Amino acid sequence: MDFLKELGIREENFGASTGLKWFTTTDNGIINVISPADGKQIAKVYQCSENDYEIVASQSYEAFKYWRKVPAPKRGDVVRQLGNKLRLYKDPLGRLVSYEMGKSLQEGLGEVQEMIDICDFAVGLSRQLYGSTMVSERENHRMYDQYHPLGVVGIITAFNFPVAVWAWNSALATVCGDSNLWKPSSKTPLCAIAVQNILADVIKENNLPEGLFSLIIGKGSTVGEKMLNDKRVPLISLTGSTAIGKHAAEVISKRFGKTILELGGNNAVIITPNADLKLAIPAVVFGAVGTAGQRCTTTRRLIVHEEIYERVKTSLVKAYSSITIGNPLDEKNNVGPLIDKSAVEEFNQALRRVIEEGGKIIFGGEVLSGNGFESGCYVKPAIVEAENHFKIVQEETFAPILYLIKYNGEVQNAIDIQNDVVQGLSSSIFTNNIREAETFLSPWGSDCGIANINIGTSGAEIGGAFGGEKETGGGRESGSDSWKQYMRRQTNTINFGTKLPLAQGIKFEI
């Protein structure tokens, strides 16, 4: 395929790089990258060794010591150039994301656009790394806080957003004066290699140090654990399951490192009797089936008032019947495959469990086979009538299953159902009633990090901070003031007088 050649993807690729230099380890295992779109092998990747990791991490630390001295606006200019390179490679990189991961081509291109957008955001940010000035209680004293570069930022990404989440972190970290050490998912390593190849031009053109943008592709049990335990990496941003996040948090906290955790989501949309269903139904369908249900912000629960329940159910089934499923590179298709056959089995297991608990499948749920579905990774998105207390509903199944749940009475009852899960990422309510909307956004409303009115749970813009509460991890990435996590805060007090008064009026004479 032409886009593979354009991105520098070969039949055999190496798994560690410090920017321009690639390490040639070939005896630490091979990843055979299979496309879920057609079941064909795309390429091979040689996994890096623990020794490779040591060299790469050391180089990343040395790069940080250089980069922290570069003025932030100049750091921002490098990110500007990266954004421009991504514009040039948007089409081939978007196609690779679609082919390697399985999301629709429109979503693949949209993911690369997220990378471009966060670069633009970071360029402006490079001139706005503000601190605050505080009033001192002491005469002739001035107090202020400022932010300094933190160090090497470890970025561990998941398969479902194989390039955008790296960009969210690396664009901000780079303008903040940090170096970047990236461990991508072993399910989508080619996207990471492609990005590293795109970066190479920026590195050459600016004579940047090796290690500013580094990549390690390897086993979580080896190089992944080394990163978690590495004191040279003061911050690790991890996107993954709640179980993986808990383990990482325990390991990193023992060495007093910092974390940004983007973990599980069990996102709900509430539809009240005051909703505009012309807005709600399309939003729910995209939120539930986009990326084949493999977004952390996927709509997994739909909480509908009993007055309009049957009407919503009928509309949903009709909308789902019009979904086109197939090869994600074909723009006529709305939904592509799941990432692999193990994801298909999780889909099947979840449906079996919900039936055992008393749920009812009212649409979909089949594994598709035959012409065009030879990979065995395609499923028909399912709608299931269920209750929120079912154990399977309380969990996050990374697949296109939408649980339809009924509520009655006031909107607070629906909010209580929504909040009654351990995850707290994204949430949404559809209503034209201002009291219901404001209740949803109040302190006793949604307990999620993202709360939307009359839009769905997925498709967040980069300008807002992204992340959630409870077992979602509590981290924030992308916009707003998320940049502060990539820097260390320092409070400064300056005495420009001739006396030495102490705070709180303490007297000390010698």
Active site residues: 262, 296
* Position 440, amino acid: F
Structure tokens at 259: 């974390």
Q: Report which of 141, 203, 187, 120 is spatially closest to residue 478, judged by C-alpha positions.
A: 120
Neighbours of 124 (CB within 10 A): 11
Q: Look at the block and give the residue holding tokens 């056959």.
A: 341
The answer to whether 122 touches 76, Cβ cutoff 8 Å, is: yes
Structure tokens at 498: 């001739």
The answer to whether 467 touches 262, Cβ cutoff 8 Å, is: yes
Q: Is 24 exposed, middle or buried (0-12, 13-18, 19+ CB in 10 A)?
A: exposed
Neighbours of 507 (CB within 10 A): 6
Show Cβ contacts of residue 453 under 8 Å, excluding neighbours closer than 6 positions.
428, 429, 430, 431, 437, 440, 441
Number of helices (H), then strands (E), belonging to the chain: the values are 15, 23
Q: How far is CA 442 from CA 35, 298, 437, 445, 464, in A?
A: 44, 23, 9, 5, 19
Decide the pairing of beta strands 469-470 and 487-495. Answer: unpaired
Show Cβ contacts of residue 119 under 8 Å, excluding neighbours closer than 6 positions.
79, 80, 82, 83, 86, 167, 171
Residue length, the chain?
Answer: 510
Starting at the earlier edge strand, list the strands of the sheet with 450-453: 360-363, 382-385, 401-407, 299-305, 267-271, 426-430, 450-453
Q: Report which of 472, 468, 69, 402 is spatially closest to residue 241, judged by C-alpha positions.
A: 472
How far apart (Å, rounded) are the C-alpha atoms in residues 391 and 178?
42
Residue 154 DSSP one-character state: E
- Partnered with residue 427 across adjacent β-strands are 268, 451
Q: Report which of 236, 195, 251, 145 is spatially closest to residue 488, judged by C-alpha positions.
A: 145
Q: Report which of 454, 476, 446 is spatially closest to residue 464, judged by C-alpha positions.
A: 476
End-to-end CA distance of the chain: 80
